Amino acid sequence: MTKNTKIYVAGHRGMVGSAVWRALDGKGYTNLIGKTSGELDLRNQKAVAEFFEREKPEVVIDAAARVGGILANNNYPYQFLMENMQIQNNLIDSSLKADAQKFIFLGSSCIYPKMAPQPLKEEYLLTGSLEPTNEWYAVAKITGVKACESIRKQFGKDYISLMPTNLYGPYDNFDLNTSHVLPAMIRKFHQSKRSFLSMLSGVEAGEKDLPVTLWGSGTPMREFLFVEDLADAVVFALENKFQDNLYNIGTGVDLTIKELAELIQKTVGHTGEIIWDSSKPDGTHRKLMDVSKMESAGWKAKVGLEEGIKRTYEWFLENQETFKQVKI
């Protein structure tokens, strides 16, 4: 591996891919390749194969995926299953055929069984049934993990899978119909502030902010990883050779959704009531990653949740007009 190694970052415009790109650029890697979805449709097998034949990247980082929260997974099960398999299968197979020496596949903690013991260890994969609310995405990602493992076993190539916990940070998706819980909360609390509503409509601000309604009971526990920490883990994996094919990436620390909501509310400066809609699903009760394997390899998360939320909200405020996600 040299600073001039040809590295293709699939999905380089997304939250994860852009963070990986910035991390690589910051460490002096100069031969980076990125294509927008308009330039290269990763679902198109022929187009992807031709791209690899032409460019012949030495390293491929797969940060491309169709992603979303519970609502999106429930509403679009076929797209979440099929499009993710198309994207990753095309990238993995073309990488093998183009003789790429390293492939880093990024998945999700949802690949583990719903009732697996906590914290989640890599060895729990395929030991039980999945959480129904996101099984379509999970099944797709499991096939990607196994494809990389089979190439590693059969061809001896350095293809590895990194499974991050719940991610958040700059360039996140703040659309309330398709976003994950943390960015959705940031937007909801922000839009319920009287100062925001006053600025938007010209109505005089009242004494209290509007209440915010959140899904579920608030009791499930979740772990969150700042996206720049994941990017740092990807660079670490790029620069080192791992013994195994599958590694969890997280903080090893979780909190309840209620505690998360209160932390975001405090960060945003919202003073209204929080209402929990228990008619909506909670999802898996707890998803905490066992990150001891990655820590033993030499990498550990650095950004705490409070600092990460603050940095994410600052980015949201600076960019909301650009990405046009704040609409009433």
**What's the CATH number where 39 sits?**
3.40.50.720
What integer is the mean pLDDT of 60-89?
A: 90
pLDDT of residue 68: 74
- Express each pLDDT in 145-186 by its tens digit: 999 999 999 999 999 999 999 999 999 989 887 778 999 999
Residue 62 domain-assigned (yes or no): yes
In angstroms, how far is the first alpha carbon of the chain from the final one? 49
Q: Which domain holds residue 53?
A: 7-169+224-253+287-303
* Domain-embedded: residue 92: yes
- The span from the CA of 139 to the CA of 148, in Å, is 15
Q: Could you say which DSSP state residue 133 is in?
A: G
Of the chain, the percentage scoring pLDDT greater than 70 comes to 94
Would 34 be classed as within a structural domain?
yes
User: Cα dihedral angle (162, 159, 20, 75), rounded to 10 degrees?
Assistant: -60
Task: Please state the rounded mean pLDDT for residues 91-98.
Answer: 98
Residue 16 domain-assigned (yes or no): yes
Q: How many residues does the chain have?
A: 328
Which residues make Cβ contacts (< 8 Å) with residue 79, sequence separation at least 6? 66
Higher pLDDT, 1 or 186: 186
Q: Which residue has the higher pLDDT, 195 or 116?
A: 116
With a cut of 80, say whether residue 61 has pLDDT above it: yes
Tally of structural domains, the chain: 1
Residue numbering of the annotated binding site? 11-17, 106-109, 141, 164-167, 180, 188, 215, 222, 282
Residue 72 lies in a domain: yes
Residue 235 located in a structural domain:
yes
Binding residues for substrate: 188, 215, 222, 282
Does residue 278 surpass a pLDDT of 60?
yes
Q: What is the pLDDT of residue 327?
A: 42
- Is residue 137 among the annotated active site residues? yes
Query: Per-residue confidence at 31, pLDDT binned at 50, 70, 90?
Result: very high
Which range is least confidently modeled, 4-13, 106-115, 201-210, 263-272? 201-210
* Statement: residue 284 has pLDDT above 90: no
The reply to whether 202 falls in a domain is no
69 found inside a domain:
yes
pLDDT band (50, 70, 90) for residue 326? very low
Of the pLDDT bands very low, low, confident and very high (cuts 50, 70, 90), residue 325 is very low
Within 8 A by CB and 6+ apart from 235, the residues are 20, 23, 24, 27
Exactly one of 8, 29, 112, 137 is catalytic; name it: 137
- What is the value of pTM for the model shown? 0.91
Average the pLDDT over each of 53-67, 245-259, 279-293 and give the range with the smallest value. Answer: 279-293
Residue 285 has pLDDT above 90, yes or no: no
Residue 263: its pLDDT value, please?
98
What is the crossing angle of helices 181-191 and 257-268, to 10°? 40
- Which of 270, 274, 271 has the alpha carbon at shortest distance from 257? 274
